[in-house]
Amino acid sequence: MKFYNRESELLRLSEIAKLSLKTSHIVVITGRRRVGKTELIRQFSKGRRDVLYLFVSNLKILFF
């Protein structure tokens, strides 16, 4: 998949990463299907060790 026109999003993620050195932050990325959300996360996390990627599906889980 080609990755382009996401410089502002990558910049904002970098700003949040810098802020998180002082206090905790969480980023939730949502959007329509096939617009590049996962690729944005992959591009941002390349070579970084301070990124946790958690995928949450729509499956309903019941706890007893």
Mean pLDDT of the 36-48 span? 94
Q: What is the pTM of this model?
A: 0.78
Confidence of residue 1 (pLDDT cuts 50, 70, 90): low
Length of the chain: 64
Nearest to 50 by CA among 17, 7, 4, 5: 17
Where do the domains of the chain lie?
Answer: 1-64
Average pLDDT over residues 28-35: 91
Return the closest-CA partner of residue 51 out of 8, 1, 14, 7.
14
